[in-house]
Amino acid sequence: MSDSLDIFFDAHLHAMSISHPNFAAFMHEIESNFSEEVVSGMFSPNYLLNYKGSTAFLARVQNLMAVVERSIGEIFILMEQDLSTRFDQFPSWSLLPKSSEKRPYDPFIADGHFHFRSRTYDRIGLCPMIMDFTQIEQIDHGVYTHTHSEDRLITYIDDTLEGIDYYRRISPHGIFEFFPFMGINPAAHDLSFIKDLIATYMITDLDERKRCSVPLPGSKRFCFGIKLYPPLGFDPWPKDDEQEMEKVRYLYDYCIRHRIPITTHCDDQGFRTIGAKRAWEFSAPRTWEHVLREYPDLIIDFAHFGKQYRPVSQMASKAQNLLMPARLMTQVSENNWFTGIIDLMLNYEHVYADFSFSGCTAAFYKQLIEYIENLSEEEQRIIISRSMFGSDFFVNLSKIDSYSHFFKLYELSSFSDDQIHRMASENVRSWLQLDQACLMTQQE
């Protein structure tokens, strides 16, 4: 039995086809809140355009579109091929540092194993995040814009299950194991739909968890966690609305009872169907503090480590080094999502954060390491045991060359070998509650 399976995890990625997201709702939001979008940072140069020139940007968009025109199963195959191939920096506009040996980088997957720094792993554990794009109110000013439909979500979940199945058929000795997260926006559904959805797709039983999302015959239970996405209109603590409170309480109670992890989007950009200000209010770590006060045992990952791109927050973090009146200082630190997450980690035992998307630049790891080094030993221990490697593939292709490129930036960071291993393996295992489960796989 393989309780010794050594797994390197990507704790946060997306596999979806062009038909899954709700572009109509996204465009509607930009159109109706254009002036707010301009100041929101969506067009700020350090969010997407961290390379020079529009040609590079278009090349990246083409690269990204070439992924989403595939089916989910084909995307998994593409990711495996990517990690199995020698790679170099793309032409002039790539931000991938040149290999010091003056030849392309060696592939991460070789001889049926995954190689990273000094270690060899048996498997790569993927946590695909399914997104619930169901709209609360449908916009119908286009002839072809969708009506409110819960089918969109069901199709996307079923396509993910089918995609995993496809991968296993095409690549029977493949290196990927799957730990999918089911997206749900409680605000867009009634409670009975939420209950049905959870009962149909969530794995709660430890024995089933060991099966690495190969559902039992006749069952569709293949999801290990729940993905929440406030910028699609989800308020984590709708305290003035009894009906909405009932839904979120049901969800948090359920997750605690069955030790099910949650990932919540936490940077100030990304796909958004509500105005930026509301999206920020719903996403902010301090909003989650209300939830955690009542549900301190919730297992929750703050995606993207709370990175903020909007110009105001950039100014605020620079201002921290200057002499500022106390009142302003408080405002600045209240609005700093990164330190907000750190505080939650120090106060609550099951709070995690991941590097997805934010790790597209070497500067992110550098700043994180410098920040950690200035903390007490105990604080360092806590943060290093709750940080997780995640990529945000394919969304991250707006900023990097390839899946391998994202892995390489992590490998080149100045984390120690031991820290690299903990954040990509041990921490994700404990977040997924796999400590006790020895994993079975298709190949045994």
Name the residues that contact Zn ion, by CB under 5 A.
392
Nearest to 176 by CA among 236, 125, 228: 125
Q: Taking a C-beta distance cutoff of 8 angstroms, is the pair 230, 202 a contact? A: no
Q: Which is nearer to Zn ion, 208 or 392 (CB)?
A: 392
Q: Which is nearer to Zn ion, 392 or 401 (CB)?
A: 392
Q: Which is nearer to Zn ion, 313 or 358 (CB)?
A: 358
Q: How far is the CB of 395 from Zn ion (least distance, A)?
A: 6
Q: How far is the CB of 269 from Zn ion (least distance, A)?
A: 11
Question: Which distant-in-sequence residues (6+ apart) come within 8 Å of 74 by Cβ?
Answer: 166
Q: How far is the CB of 205 from Zn ion (least distance, A)?
A: 27
Q: Taking a C-beta distance cutoff of 8 angstroms, is the pair 54, 169 a contact? A: no
Q: Which is nearer to Zn ion, 177 or 392 (CB)?
A: 392
Q: Taking a C-beta distance cutoff of 8 angstroms, is the pair 386, 352 a contact? A: yes
Across-strand partners of 264?
A: 228, 302
How far is CA 320 from its chain centroid? 28
Q: How far is the CB of 22 from Zn ion (least distance, A)?
A: 16
Q: How far is the CB of 275 from Zn ion (least distance, A)?
A: 20
d(C-alpha 317, C-alpha 216), whole Å? 50
Residue 216: DSSP 8-state: P
With vertex at residue 318, the alpha carbon angle to CA 370 and CA 381, rounded to the nearest 5 degrees, is 25
Closest CB to Zn ion: residue number: 392
The structure tokens listed for 208 are 């089933």
Q: Which is nearer to Zn ion, 80 or 354 (CB)?
A: 354
Q: Which is nearer to Zn ion, 139 or 395 (CB)?
A: 395
Q: Which is nearer to Zn ion, 132 or 392 (CB)?
A: 392
Q: How far is the CB of 82 from Zn ion (least distance, A)?
A: 18
d(C-alpha 386, C-alpha 428), whole Å? 8
DSSP H helical ranges for 238-310: 242-257, 276-283, 285-294
**196: enclosing H helix or E strand:** helix 191-201
Q: How far is the CB of 140 from Zn ion (least distance, A)?
A: 28
